Amino acid sequence: MKKVAVVFNGGTISMKIDPKIHAAVPSLSGEEIMSMVTGIEDFAEIESYNFSNVPSPHMSPNDMMSLSFYIKKLLKREDICGVVVTHGTDSLEETAYLLDLTINYDKPVVVTGAMKSSSELGYDGPANLSASICTTISEEAKNFGVLVCLNGELNCANEVVKANSMSLNAFRTPGFGPIGVVDNNEILFYRNRVEKQYIDTDKIESKVDLIKCASGMDSSFLDFSIDRGSKGLVIEAMGRGNIPPLMVDGVKRAIDKNIPVVLVSRCFEGRALDTYGYHGGGKELKNMGVIFGDTLSGQKARIKLMLALGKTNDLSYIKDLFEAGHYK
C-alpha cells in the first residue's frame, strides 16, 4: 500500500464556529480532520504533519517558501509516493503556484482545502481530502506538477483561480476547464499538462507590488512603489494589455531604474498582448521594455516575479521566463 504525507496548513478546513464570536476560527488539528476521512485506510497509508494552522490571508510568500522546503524534504523519501497539502482557499492559488514553480519532482503534490468549516452543514473538507489522496496515489498523476483538488475536480496550479467566494466549485481554470476529475475514487484526465516551469531558487524577493488599473488612474501608486524601494512591479492592465495614459510615465520611470514591470490583464479570461498602438497601449508598453505575462493572473505573476528576482536581477532571464514561447 502506498504511503502519502498529508501536510496540514490551516484554513477553513481546520476551522469551526466559535460560539462566543459566531465566526469560524482555526480549531482542528490534522489528526482530528483525518479522523473524519473514513475508509481512507483501505486506499493508502497516511502520515500526518501539522505545518501550521493559520487563515490563508496570514500566509506570506516567505511562509510559502518554507512550506516548499518542507514538502521537498518529504518528497525525497523513497517510501513517500506524494504529498497532499491542506490550505486556506483565499491564497491557495498563490501557494500552489509557488510550489509548482519551486518543486521539481515527478511525485504528485496536491493542494486542497474546504469552502465550509466543520461546523457547517455540508462540510467539504473530508471529501476533498479523500479525493486528493486518491489523486496522489495514482500513477497517472505523476509529472503533472502541482494539482489543486476541490469538489472532485483537478486543476493545474499554473492555471487555476478562485472564481467564487462561497461555492464548493470555487476553483476553476478560465477558458479551458479542469484538467481532470476524481470519479468513484479514480482519476480521469481530460487533457495533458502543458508548460511546466521550474525556478531553481531557495530565495524569494518579497518587495514586489501589484497594481490594478482602473479608469483615470495616474502614476501615483507606481511612484509610491518606486520610492519605497520595490524590486519589481506587476500591473493588471485593462483588456488586452493597455493602461490609462497618465500611468505611462510611471512605468517608464520604473523601467529607467531597471525595475522589471510585468503586465497582465485584469480580465478573467484571455491573455495580454501588444495589440494596440495608441498612447498607453500594449505596443508602446512592450517597446518600452514592459514584460508581458500571458494568461497569468496578477497574483500569480507577482509570485513568479518574486521567485525570479530571488534567483537573479538579470532582466533578460526574467523576460524569457515570462515570455518564452509566446513572443518572437
**How do residues 102-144 score in pLDDT, each as one tens digit?**
999 999 999 999 999 999 899 999 999 999 999 999 999 999 9
Nearest-10 Cα torsion for 188, 191, 197, 198: 20
3-state secondary structure (DSSP) of residue 151: coil
pLDDT at 328 over 80: no
Residue with cell 496550479: 157
How confident is the model over 229-288, as pLDDT tens digits?
A: 999 999 999 999 999 999 999 999 999 999 999 999 999 999 999 999 999 999 999 999
How confident is the model over 139-171, as pLDDT tens digits?
A: 999 999 999 999 999 999 999 999 999 999 999
pLDDT at 209 over 50: yes
- The C-alpha cell that represents 319 in the structure block: 523576460
CA atoms within 13 A on the CB side of 239: 11
Give the mean pLDDT of the chain.
94
Percent of the chain with pLDDT over 90: 89
Strand partners, 128: none
- The C-alpha cell that represents 299 in the structure block: 497574483
Q: Which residues contact 71 (CB under 8 A, 6 or more apart)?
A: 7, 83, 85, 99, 103, 109
Distance CA 131, CA 135 (A): 6
pLDDT computed for residue 131 by the predictor: 97
pLDDT computed for residue 115 by the predictor: 95
**b/e code 143-156 from CB counts within 10 Å (16+ = b):** ebbbbbbbbbbbbb
How confident is the model over 169-186, as pLDDT tens digits?
A: 999 999 889 999 999 999
Q: How crowded is residue 123: how many other Cβ atoms within 10 Å of its Cβ?
A: 19
pLDDT at 30 over 60: yes
3-state secondary structure (DSSP) of residue 148: strand
Nearest alpha-carbon partner for 280 in 247, 309, 255, 252: 247
Distance CA 133, CA 86 (A): 11
Give residue 327's pLDDT band: very low, low, confident or very high (50, 70, 90): very low
H/E stretch holding 319 reads helix 315-323
Distance CA 316, CA 322 (A): 10
Q: Which residues contact 107 (CB under 8 A, 6 or more apart)?
A: 75, 80, 81, 82, 83, 142
Find the length of the chain. Answer: 328
pLDDT computed for residue 325 by the predictor: 55
Distance CA 83, CA 42 (A): 18
Roughly how many angstroms between the first and final C-alpha of the chain, as a whole number?
49
How big is the CA angle at 156 (ends 127 and 30), to the nearest 5 degrees?
35
pLDDT at 24 over 90: no
Question: Phi first, then psi: what are they for 57, rounded to 5°?
Answer: -65, -15
